[in-house]
Chain A
Amino acid sequence: GAGVSQSPSNKVTEKGKDVELRCDPISGHTALYWYRQSLGQGLEFLIYFQGNSAPDKSGLPSDRFSAERTGGSVSTLTIQRTQQEDSAVYLCASSLFPRGPNEQFFGPGTRLTVL
């Protein structure tokens, strides 16, 4: 079956512009996660969705970052007034069961470059 998909694969934007990143999780997966990966910094947790609600937003770095999930499926991560330090690869993952010791399936990521 289809895995996790993300779009766009690459996004170049100018400082100060808003961007939207999309994630399509595996069908039936209730949990969805957003991570940010900067060079040499590992996988930085941003936000976790269980269904359409986000019980853990503790990783969002500032109020410029927001995310939503609709229909228990597609999620959108929005970054407003982008800054150069927002440049990174943004990864989405989904898992069948709620947060806990179960496998996360990652998408290919969106590479964001802020000029």
Chain B
Amino acid sequence: EDKVVQSPLSLVVHEGDTVTLNCSYEVTNFRSLLWYKQEKKAPTFLFMLTSSGIEKKSGRLSSILDKKELFSILNITATQTGDSAVYLCAVEAIQGTYKYIFGTGTRLKVLA
């Protein structure tokens, strides 16, 4: 059965801290891994990763994929209270057609 597991489930840090969120997966016919940020409403797209070892970066956020060990990490440096959200990892797999399997998310709270 396909699964995407995120850890930790929740995290509380102070502004300025650096955090690392983990996503591991077991899926058939992996195609890509996606990170989304979900605040009070709907998820918003952050990154898509398809190749191992190539870091994607956007401001203070960065992510990397390891297709051999089947995991990805999302790093946030110099955290701000606006980073507080649930971070969702999703894996795209090709199984007849393409499917997205989401993890349960990591709830990050950044304290001022």
* A-B complex is real: no
Interface residues, chain B, CB within 8 Å of chain A?
A: none
Interface residues, chain A, CB within 8 Å of chain B?
A: none
